[in-house]
Amino acid sequence: MSGTLLPSRRQWAIAAGFLGCLLVPLSLVGWALGGPLALAALPGVAVGFVVTLQARSTRVGLLAVAVMAGLALVSTLAAASTPVAAVWLGLVGVAYGLSGLRGWHRLTMQMAIWCSYIVVNPLQAGGETKLTRIGDVDASLSAAAVTALAVLAAGAVMAVLAGRVARRDPLPPAPVLARHRAYALAAAAGGLLALGTAVVLGTERLVAGEWLLLTVIVLLQPDAAATLRHTAERVAGTLFGVLAAAGIALALGESDLRTALALVLMVAAFAFLQVPRRYWLYVALFTPGLVLLSSPPGETEAVAAARLGFTLAGAIAVAAVALALSRFDRPSAG
C-alpha cells in the first residue's frame, strides 16, 4: 500500500509531459492567432490526451476527438442563446449519465466537461482573435467551424503523442451501471446542467461560471455514497486551494516566480490525479495552480472567490440530489 501514497516516476513524467504538451502548442497558437483561438483548441488537447491514456488506445483517443469536434461545433452555436444552451447541456448531461449503461462513464466525462466549458466560453469572432468571417458565412457559424477544426487538429496530435506513452497491458473492465442507476444519473446530470447553464448564462456570464457546471459533472458518481465522498474531497481541496492561491498572490505579486510555482503545482496535481484515493490532494494542488495562471493581474482573489463559490454551489446541489437518489442504491446480496 505504501507504494501508492506518492506518484511514481512514470506518473510524474506523464504529468510533466501533459502540461508541456498542453502549454507549448497552445502558447504558439495564441501568439500566432490570438489567445481565444488557443483556448478553443484546449478541449481537443485534453480529450485527446486523457481519453487515450484512459483507454490505452490511440484509436479510441482519435475517435473521442472526432466526437468532441462535433460536440464543440454544436456547443459554440448553442452558446448564442441561453435557453438553447440550457437545453443542449441538459441533453449532454442525459447522454453522460446513460453512457454508464455501456461502461463509458469515465470516457464521456471529458466530453461533458468541455461541452460546458465551450458553452460558457465560446470563441467569439472578430476583435483580438484575428478571426472575422469565413467568406460570407455568419460569424457565429464561422466561430463554430473554427472551434471544431481546432479541436480536431489539436486533439489528433495529442492522441498520437499520448499513444506513445500509454501502457499496452489490458485495460481493466469499466463498471457497467444497472439501468436504475444510469437513469437516475442521467436525470440528475441533465437537470442540474440545464439549471446551472440557465443561471450562469442568464446572469451576464459570471466570472468562472463554468465551474458550477464542471463541478456537477465531476462530482456526480454512479452511486450516492461515492458522490458524497467525492463531494467532500472536492470542497475540502478547493477551500485549501483558494486560500493557497490568495496567499501566494499576496506574497509574490505578478512575478515570474509566481508563474513558475503555479506550473509546479499543476504538474504535481496531474501526478497525484493518477494515484488512487488522492483526489482531494489533486484538487488542493490544481486549484491554486489554475487560479494563479488564469487570473488577470490584480484579480486573483476575485477569481479564487468565484471558483470557491461556484464549487460550493455545485457541491451542495449534487449532494442534495445524491441524498434524494440514494433510495435507488439497492443493497447488494450476501
**DSSP collapsed to 3 states, 104-154:** CHHHHHHHHHHHHHHHHCCCCCCHHHCCCCCCCCCHHHHHHHHHHHHHHHH
* 12 and 54 co-located in one domain: yes
* 260 and 149 co-located in one domain: no
CB-CB contact of 285 with 269 (8 Å)? yes
Domain stops at, among 141, 174, 207: 174
Enter the DSSP assignment of 222. S
Q: Which three cell numbers stand for residue 258?
A: 509566481
CB-CB contact of 112 with 37 (8 Å)? no
For the chain, what is the radius of gyration of the CA atoms? 19
pTM over 0.85: yes
Domain stops at, among 151, 174, 197: 174
Residue 208 located in a structural domain = yes
* 74 and 136 co-located in one domain: yes
Q: Is 330 exposed, middle or buried (0-12, 13-18, 19+ CB in 10 A)?
A: exposed
* 54 and 129 co-located in one domain: yes
Q: Which helix (H) or strand (E) holds 293?
A: helix 279-294
Quote the CA–CA distance of 267 and 219 in Å, as a whole number: 22
Q: Measured between alpha carbons, how far is residue 320 from residues 95, 254, 315, 327 in Å?
A: 21, 39, 8, 13
Residue 103 located in a structural domain = no
Q: Under 8 Å CB-to-CB from 300, ≥6 apart: which residues?
A: 245, 246, 249, 291, 292
Q: Mapping DSSP to helix (H, G, I), strand (E, B) and coil, where does residue 259 land?
A: helix
Amino acid identity for residue 264 in this structure: V
Residue 106 located in a structural domain = no
* 273 and 164 co-located in one domain: no
Q: Single out the residue of 246, 294, 244, 289 nearest to residue 270, CA to CA.
A: 289
* 56 and 43 co-located in one domain: yes
* 312 and 244 co-located in one domain: yes
* 218 and 151 co-located in one domain: no
Residue 234 located in a structural domain = yes
* 129 and 33 co-located in one domain: yes
Tens place of pLDDT for every residue, the chain, 334 residues? 344 678 888 889 888 887 887 777 677 766 666 677 778 888 998 999 889 988 888 999 999 999 999 999 999 999 988 999 999 999 999 999 999 999 898 889 999 999 999 998 888 654 444 444 444 445 678 889 989 999 999 899 889 988 887 776 666 777 888 898 899 899 999 999 999 999 998 876 556 788 999 999 999 988 888 899 999 999 999 999 999 999 999 898 888 899 999 999 999 998 998 888 889 999 999 999 999 988 887 888 888 888 899 999 999 999 999 888 776 555 544 3
Angle at 55 between CA 238 and CA 6, to 5 degrees: 45
* 170 and 188 co-located in one domain: no
Domain that holds residue 166: 8-80+122-174
HSE at residue 164, side-chain half, CA atoms within 13 A, is 8
Quote the CA–CA distance of 270 and 266 in Å, as a whole number: 6
The total domain count for the chain is 2
Residue 139 located in a structural domain = yes
Residue 101 located in a structural domain = no
Any long-range contacts for 122-125 (C-beta under 8 Å, 24+ apart)? 122/75, 122/76, 122/79, 122/80, 122/147, 123/36, 123/37, 123/39, 123/40, 123/76, 123/147, 124/36
First to last CA, the chain: 27
